[in-house]
A = this chain, B = another copy of it.
Amino acid sequence: MATLNLDTLTAAFADIETITDPAQVAKLSQDYHTFSPVLVPKLAGKVGDIVVRPANEAEVIKVAATCAKLRIPVTVRGAGTGNYGQCVPMHGGVILDMTKMHEILWVKPAVARVEAGVKLAALDKKAREIGWEMRMAPSTYRTATIGGFIAGGSGGIGSIQYGLLGDRGNLLGLRVVTLEDEPRIIELRGDDVQKVNHAWGINGIITRLELPLAPAYPWAEVIVTFDDFMTAAKFGYALGIADGMMKKLISVFASPIPQYFHALHEYIPQGKHPAFLMVAEPSLEFLPGLVQQYGGEITYQKPAQDAGKGTHLAEFTWNHTTLHARIVDSSITYLQSIFPPDASLQLVEHLYHHFGDEVMMHLEFFRVRGAVIAGALQLVRYTTEERLNEIIRYHEAQGVMIANPHTYIIEDGGRKVIDPEQLKFKEMVDPYGLMNPGKSKVLEFHNNS
- With A189-B285, A370-B372, A371-B371 given, is the CB distance from A168 to B245 under 8 Å? yes
Measured CA separation A369–B367 after assembly (Å): 13
**Is A269 in the interface zone, CB < 8 Å from B?**
no
Measured CA separation A222–B354 after assembly (Å): 50
Whole-angstrom distance between the Cβ of A265 and the nearest chain B Cβ: 30
Q: Is the CB of A167 within 8 A of B370?
A: no
**Is A110 in the interface zone, CB < 8 Å from B?**
yes
**A361-394 with Cβ < 8 A to chain B:** 367-372
Q: Is the CB of B370 within 8 A of A169?
A: no
Measured CA separation A244–B217 after assembly (Å): 18
**Is A111 in the interface zone, CB < 8 Å from B?**
yes
Measured CA separation A367–B245 after assembly (Å): 13
- Closest B residue, CB atoms, query A365: B370
- Closest B residue, CB atoms, query A213: B282
Q: Is the CB of B369 within 8 A of A241?
A: yes
Chain A 335-377 interface mask (CB, 8 Å, partner B; 1/0): 0000000000000000000000000000000011111100000
The answer, among B168, B244, B290, B371, for a CB contact under 8 Å with A162, is B244
The answer, among B131, B189, B243, B281, for a CB contact under 8 Å with A370, is B243
**Is A288 in the interface zone, CB < 8 Å from B?**
yes
Measured CA separation A62–B254 after assembly (Å): 57
Q: Is the CB of B190 within 8 A of A244?
A: no
Whole-angstrom distance between the Cβ of A195 and the nearest chain B Cβ: 13
Whole-angstrom distance between the Cβ of A197 and the nearest chain B Cβ: 11
**Is A191 in the interface zone, CB < 8 Å from B?**
yes
Give the bracket for the number of chain A residues in contact with chain B: 35 or more
Residues of chain B within 8 A of A168, CB atoms compared: 242, 244-245, 283, 286, 289-290
Measured CA separation A367–B240 after assembly (Å): 12
Q: Is the CB of B369 within 8 A of A286?
A: no
- Closest B residue, CB atoms, query A111: B282
Whole-angstrom distance between the Cβ of A446 and the nearest chain B Cβ: 35
Q: Is the CB of A285 within 8 A of B242?
A: no
Measured CA separation A289–B189 after assembly (Å): 12
Residues of chain B within 8 A of A277, CB atoms compared: none
- With A168-B245, A289-B168 given, is the CB distance from A240 to B283 under 8 Å? no
Residues of chain B within 8 A of A147, CB atoms compared: none
Q: Is the CB of A172 within 8 A of B372?
A: no
Measured CA separation A164–B242 after assembly (Å): 10
Give the number of times this chain occurs in the complex, counting copies: 2
Measured CA separation A131–B217 after assembly (Å): 12
Whole-angstrom distance between the Cβ of A151 and the nearest chain B Cβ: 18
Chain A 6-44 interface mask (CB, 8 Å, partner B; 1/0): 000000000000000000000000000000000000000
Residues of chain B within 8 A of A82, CB atoms compared: none
The answer, among B212, B244, B246, for a CB contact under 8 Å with A244, is B212
Residues of chain B within 8 A of A212, CB atoms compared: 244, 246, 282-283
**A81-130 with Cβ < 8 A to chain B:** 109-111
Q: Is the CB of B370 within 8 A of A242?
A: yes
Measured CA separation A242–B109 after assembly (Å): 21
**A154-179 with Cβ < 8 A to chain B:** 161-164, 167-170, 172
Measured CA separation A191–B212 after assembly (Å): 33
Whole-angstrom distance between the Cβ of A170 and the nearest chain B Cβ: 4
- With A110-B280, A131-B109, A244-B163 given, is the CB distance from A286 to B169 under 8 Å? yes
**Is A215 in the interface zone, CB < 8 Å from B?**
yes
Residues of chain B within 8 A of A282, CB atoms compared: 110-111, 169, 172, 212
Apart from the given pairs A110-B281, A243-B368, A243-B369, 8 other A-B contacts in the complex at a CB distance below 8 Å: A110-B215, A110-B280, A135-B244, A163-B244, A168-B290, A190-B285, A370-B371, A371-B371
Which 10 residue pairs of A and B lie closest in terms of their CB atoms, listed nearest first? A241-B370, A163-B243, A169-B244, A167-B244, A215-B215, A170-B244, A191-B289, A169-B245, A190-B285, A168-B286
Q: Mind listing 17 A-B residue pairs with CB under 8 Å?
A: A110-B218, A110-B280, A131-B131, A161-B243, A162-B244, A163-B244, A167-B243, A167-B245, A168-B289, A169-B244, A172-B285, A212-B282, A242-B370, A243-B367, A243-B368, A370-B372, A371-B371
